[in-house]
Structure 1
Amino acid sequence: MQKLNFKRTIRTNILILKLMGLWPEDDNTYTLNLYTMYAFITIVVIMGGHNFFQIINICFVYKDLEALATTIFITSTEVLVLVKVYFFTQNIGRLKNLLSLLKKDVFQPRNEKQMELIEPTLDFWKNVHRSFMFIAVSTIVVQSVNKNQLPFAAWYPYDYTVTPFYELTYSYQVIGMWYIAISNVNIGTLFYALLTYIVVQCDILCDDCKNLTNERSSFSQRLVSCLKHHKEILSFSQNVNDLFEMVILGQFVTSTVVIATTLFMLTLVDPLSEEGFVTVLYAIAIITEIFIYCWFGNQVNLKVR
């Protein structure tokens, strides 16, 4: 039976990460080359700069409670994305090594039956990735359509209300928003993919255990194989936890701040107005992101019981 290439499942995810400057070629990490220079521009100049000017703006609006809440509302989530990107790039080598482990025979489906068993789970992840990408792109398009107004409140050391500074600043914010949103989605869905791989490995192991033969020699051999597989799954899941634990902690802390800020903002605006509607939708998006993390984690928890 032909080996299953698990990385092929996430090839679209990896391609997008490459375009964002977050996935060096092959099994390499960041070295002194053109791609690293491109990554520096996207991460530091575009994403980092976009966040920097928004944070500086807080110093000028802190006396206006509504403006301050609005700024924190958006900026906190974007800063979290930068934190995610930092930990992601710092651990890119370990992450690639982790994915390469899936090529080992112990992680491979044994037959066509097991292939059919795990396909629905892998397809579900693909649908989650497509859905999140659609939501992210739609949000960027809607947020970008502002007449005579920048998408985000920020401070700049020049008058951005005059041509051509307005057009350049507008483009800079849209590009920054694009990189931040798409990076956030694809880092998150890659983590979901790793949890999905743990789930399908548990399915394969359970199927192997159900089909242990009664013949003494074959039974002993297969039992040892199952024990080795179980040990490899535990090691893989621990590595996934070590890679993403700080990111998940940051996600929960930031989401708590954003949800609290959202509830405060709803006291300042009419919940039935356009601004109130957008605020509620944003809060739902944050809650959904937390829910998806918990849902995939719960799936792993259910499988190991």
Structure 2
Amino acid sequence: MSHSNPLEAFKLNTFFLKALTVWHVENPTYRLYKIFVVFSFAVTFFSAWICALVNYNVSEISENFYYLPAMSTGPLKYAIFQKNFTNIVNLTHLLETQYAKIRTENQKKIFDESVIFERKVMKNFAILIIPTCVAMFIVPYFQDRREMPLIVWFPFDYKQPVVFDLVYFILAFACISIAYTNVSTDAFFYTCLIQIETQCEIVSDTLRNLDKIVTNGFRNVAESRKIFIECIEQYNVILRYTKIVSDTYQGILVVQFFCSLVALCLTMYKLSLADPGSQDFIKYFVFKLGVISEIFMYCYFGHRVLEKTEDLYFAIYEMHWYDASKQIQNEVFIFMGQLEKPIVFYVANIFSLDLDTFKKIMQKAWSFFTALKNMHDIRNN
């Protein structure tokens, strides 16, 4: 029997969260840096929305409405994550102290592969958004006609040479930080869900091979019952862990899905009006893919957890429980009753995080897009 450290999977993710000041660090210098980050977020968020609300009837500004809902998710996720940080601490403590016991080489392999996968998720997302950040927030600064990376409003003339550079730096820094805050908070959630499915896999493997793990199999009643009870207790720990993750991310899930759905509808509407092959068409298309991928990843990892907990239910059938003592058989039936309801994550307690929900969201977005397009066609005719 061996123990592995599940927090290894969070190392890269935690590094980014600390760099973005999303993670709490007790340090005076870090606190000053955090004030600057929050200030840049606030300036960017409010200047963009004020500009949109005040000048909503100006065509140049209304053309850029599509990215505002998606841009808003970063600061809102930042605030919600900070508010629920006590839950994050409890979550990591629970992982560190009450992780599933690893009893076989196969279980060790399951654990190691999950850690590698979790690191890849964070690394790939961090790399994928680099071209977007460079193209949107760095390249425009070096062009002949320099403009702000966003449509914003300030109560002063920000086009003066030194002022422009300072404001541009704050906006570019904030936008890049917002992008990585989105990625880091999302990846933290994905990692939490991968931890749930990994623990379910380990418990499933223990149940399937219980008669092999225990010396003399089910004839060793005391030892086989002890390990079976440990599996039940571990599943209860998984449920506690799941509740903490769900409570921590409930607000973030609501923000993500609401903003993404609005951004998706607006982007698809803009896409329908743009000429195929034009620069605007490509811009809207790439942005749409980014929004869809965020929704898909949440639903995908939620679906994986659903499948692994369903697999845990079927693992009971494969454990040769009919060879066990009457006491273990009775406990098996009780545990099976508990496993009939798989682990499902919900958004605002309305719809579940799974691939069926993703399909429905795409259908709703398409319906909304069609309605917007029809209204536009009627208005022009």
Common fold, TM-score beyond 0.5? yes
Matched, 1:101 2:91: no
**1:243-262 pair list within 5 angstroms:** 243-262=248-267
Which stretch shows the higher mean deviation, 166-175 or 178-187? 166-175
Pair 1:87-2:69 in alignment = no
Letter in 2 for 1:13: N
Unaligned runs of 5+ in 2: 212-217, 311-381
The answer to whether the 8 Å contact 2:6/2:115 transfers is: no
Larger RCO: 1 or 2 (CA < 8 Å, sep 6+):
1
Contact 1:73 1:261 in 2 (8 A): yes
Partner of 2:353: none
Corresponding pairs, count: 298
Q: Which residue of 2 aligns with 1:51?
A: 45
- Contact 2:196 2:305 (C-alpha < 8 Å) held by counterparts: yes
Deviates more, 1:234-243 or 1:189-198: 234-243
Partner of 2:161, secondary structure, is coil
Q: Which residue of 2 aligns with 1:4?
A: 4
Change in Cα spacing, 1:261 to 1:212, as seen in structure 2 (3 Å) is: same
Cα RMSD for the two superposed structures: 1.8
Report the secondary structure of 2:103's partner residue: coil
CA distance in 1, matches of 2:24, 2:97: 23
* Alignment partners' CA distance in 2, 1:120 and 1:2: 16
- Separation of aligned partners in 1, 2:166 and 2:113: 46
Give the TM-score, by structure 2 length.
0.74
Whether the 8 Å contact between 2:12 and 2:119 is mirrored in structure 1 is no
Aligned with 2:118 (options 117, 125, 128): 125
Do the aligned residues in 1 keep the contact of 2:148 with 2:168 (CA within 8 Å)? yes
Report if aligned partners of 1:5, 1:103 keep a CA contact under 8 Å in 2: yes
Question: Which protein shows a greater Rg?
Answer: 2
1:132·1:185 contact (CA, 8 Å) conserved in 2? yes
Return the match for 1:153 from 144, 147, 151.
Answer: 151
Indicate how the Cα distance of structure 1 residues 106 and 264 shifts in structure 2: closer, same or farther if over 3 A, else same.
Answer: closer
Cα contact 1:107–1:201 (8 A) shared by 2: yes
Per-residue CA distance 1:133-156 (angstroms, 9 max, x = gap): 012222111112112121111112
Counterpart for residue 42 of structure 1: 37
Percent identity, please.
25
Post-superposition offset of 1:287: 0.3
| Aligned residue among 303, 319, 330 for 1:298 | 303
Kindly state the Cα deviation for residue 187 of structure 1 after the two structures are TM-superposed. Answer: 0.6
Shift of 1:254: 0.7
Change (3 A) 1:50 1:229: same
Summarize the Cα distance change of 1:277–1:238 in structure 2 as closer, same or farther, 3 Å threshold: same
Please tell me whether residue 183 in structure 1 is matched to residue 176 in structure 2: no
TM-score by structure 1 length? Answer: 0.92
- Measured against aligned partners, the alpha-carbon deviations of 1:184-233 in whole angstroms (never above 9, x if no partner) come to 11011000000000010001100110121312121111111111011111
1:65 to partner: Cα distance: 4.7
AA partner of residue 272 (structure 2): T
Q: Does structure 2 conserve the Cα–Cα contact (< 8 Å) formed by 1:61 and 1:67? A: yes
Q: CA deviation at 1:36?
A: 3.4
